[in-house]
Structure 1
Amino acid sequence: MIVWLNGAFGAGKTTAAYELLDLIPGSTLYDPELLGAGLRVMLPKERLGQVDDFQDLPAWRRLVADTAAALLTEIPGPLIAPMTLLRQEYRDEIFGALASRRVPVRHVLLHVEETILRRRIGTRAEREGGSSPDWCLGHLPAYQAALPWITADAHTVDTSRLTPRRTAERVAEAIREGAGALDIVQAPEPTAETLAAGVLLFDERDRVLLVDPTYKPGWEFPGGIVEPGEAPARAGMREVAEELGIELAEVPRLLVVDWEAPCPPAFGGLRLLFDGGCLESARAAELLLQGDELREWVFVTEAEAARLLPPVRYRRLRWALRARERGTTLNLEAGAPVGI
């Protein structure tokens, strides 16, 4: 298990984490910032110059989950990770990767009132040096902007008037009571090429339905991996029923077959998109999201989808929409049509 202590920069997460080690038997401090420091040494300056923060490196986000899983083969755990995480898509990627490795996460927010936080940051900078107070304070707007999703996701402990020890006691008590648990459902990471089936559902205005997964960044189509021995179209129907609570009356028509090239560490494979037809307003109102997988759904135009979908998924959608308009099926390789 990982106890992830989130919060503003300078909020005292690391201090509380050290106190927490005394209160949770077998616990070990796990500092993902050390992984960032290692990447700063190993990566070329040109690559580092392309990002503002080591959290923007896909390698860092993957290493956080890989290293945690590796550590838990050596020690009983839990791991205590004091790390500010303000971008929800990074939360999805990291926590989803941990879930695929069967590492449960307890997400705890250590919140401090802004006036008290500013005073703490200034006092700490005067006492021990370290992070510039201006650097910590400069990230406060991002923290405030992230609070809505963090508070919805994490168990919050207001530490404004708590000592580090009392903060740790509150966290330990919350963990014992099961607070902050994230029931993310994620299949183990593939070990070979996979076959996946997605289903496009439309409203009366011909907008397409997208869903926001809790376990990976970016929006997606309803669907998932085809199980061994399962017909792909039936797999898409099953996923729609499981994810949205909607039973499709007819087997959907195939729109595109897209070969996704291997891109280590991903294995790629075949990605199919089917036409699930129109989901009328009355039925759309009955959508029941599977909360441990999806947090939101929305109908979007093609232009709006371009802003929400990762490029590889948008290219697949764009050609699926063309196939739907033409009443045909298109064969794609890496998102581009072949044989036409």
Structure 2
Amino acid sequence: MIVWLNGTFGVGKTSTAREVCELLPDSTFFDPELIGGGLRAMLPSKRLAEVGDYQDLPSWRRLVVDTAAALLAEVGGVLVTPMTLLRQDYRDEIFGGLASRRIPVQHILLHAEETILRERIEGRALGPDQPEGDASIRKWCLDHLEPYRGALSWLTADAHVIRTDRLTAGQAAELVADAVRDGAGARTMVQTPHPTAETVASGVLLFDEDDRVLLVDPTYKPDWEFPGGVVEPGEPPTRAGVREVAEELGMRLADPLRLLVVDWEPPNPPGYGGLRLLFDGGRLSESQAGELLLPADELRGWRFVTEDEAADLLPPHRWHRLRWALRARERGCPINLEQGLPVT
């Protein structure tokens, strides 16, 4: 299990995490910041210059999951992880990756009022040997107060909140340990196992009366998606699409699905790629759309979007697949794609 201590800089995550390790049996301190330091030492400076924070590196997010899984296989028990996560899509990616490895997470937010945080950050002692470096760290912490403020709405909804305004690290740790024992902040997420070979997946495009397409927002991975999922062994792809729509949206499709595109997705480690099919599931009336039911552990929202709006929500390969699926729908003829482009 992982106890993820979230919160902005100055709230006392690291010192609290070390105290928590003293209170929880079989617990190990796991600091993902060490992975960021390692990547800074290994990656070319050109690549590092392209991102503002090591959390923006896909390799960091992947290694956090892989390292946590490896540590738990080595020592078992509980990993106490103090790490600021302010971007919800990064939280989805990391927690979803952990869920796919059957690693439960308890998400706990250490929170203090901004005035208290500023007092702590500005009161940080400047070292006599590296005053400029310490001043830079202080500025970094202060600069992150605004993003933290902007993230509070989703953080407080997702995590168990512990106020640390006037608490010592030891006192905060006692509250964290109690919360862990009570199961507070447990994140129930869909557990999508990582494939071990190429897969076939069926997606279903549903449209409103203005021909906008429906997209869903998964809780377990970044970016928006089409309703759908991996075809199970021995299952027809069309049946998989119908099944996924029923599971994800609570809707039974009466009309048969019509194939729009078949797209071959190449291997992209750690993914294996495979065939991706998109079907036309037809139009939904306003009343039908109002009856959609989302599984809370899998999807947090849905919306109808235009093709241009979808470009801002979907990753490029998925948007190209959608673009050609819409052309196929207009032409009334399926299109064969490879890596998102028609095979001529």
TMscore range, shorter length: over 0.9
Aligned to 1:51: 51
1:318 corresponds to 2:323? yes
Within a 5 Å distance, the mapping from 1:282-293 to structure 2 comes to 282-293=287-298
1:254 corresponds to 2:287? no
Gap regions ≥5 residues in structure 2: none
Aligned to 1:220: 225
Within a 5 Å distance, the mapping from 1:1-340 to structure 2 comes to 1-126=1-126, 130=134, 132-339=137-344
* Higher mean C-alpha deviation, range 39-48 or range 62-71: 39-48
Q: Secondary structure at the match of 2:256?
A: coil
Q: Secondary structure at the match of 2:232?
A: coil
The letter of the residue matching 2:287 is A
Structure 1 246/122 Cα, relative in aligned 2: closer, same or farther at 3 Å? Answer: same
Is residue 125–residue 133 contact of structure 1 (8 Å, CA) maintained in 2? Answer: no
1:1-47 deviations in Å (ceiling 9; x for gaps): 01000001121100100110111111100000000101111111111
Gap regions ≥5 residues in structure 1: none
1:27-81 deviations in Å (ceiling 9; x for gaps): 1000000001011111111111111111011110000000000001111220000
Displacement over 6 Å in runs of 4+: none
Is residue 258–residue 272 contact of structure 1 (8 Å, CA) maintained in 2? Answer: yes
Q: Secondary structure at the match of 1:206?
A: coil
Question: 2: distance between equivalents of 1:250 and 1:6?
Answer: 46
Q: CA RMSD in A?
A: 1.2
* Structure 2 length-normalised TM: 0.96
Is residue 125–residue 132 contact of structure 1 (8 Å, CA) maintained in 2? Answer: no
The letter of the residue matching 1:270 is L
Question: 2: distance between equivalents of 1:254 and 1:16?
Answer: 54
Question: 1: distance between equivalents of 2:10 and 2:320?
Answer: 41
Question: 1: distance between equivalents of 2:293 and 2:13?
Answer: 36
Question: 2: distance between equivalents of 1:249 and 1:167?
Answer: 54
Question: 2: distance between equivalents of 1:137 and 1:264?
Answer: 37
Percent identity over the alignment is 68
Is residue 331–residue 338 contact of structure 1 (8 Å, CA) maintained in 2? Answer: yes
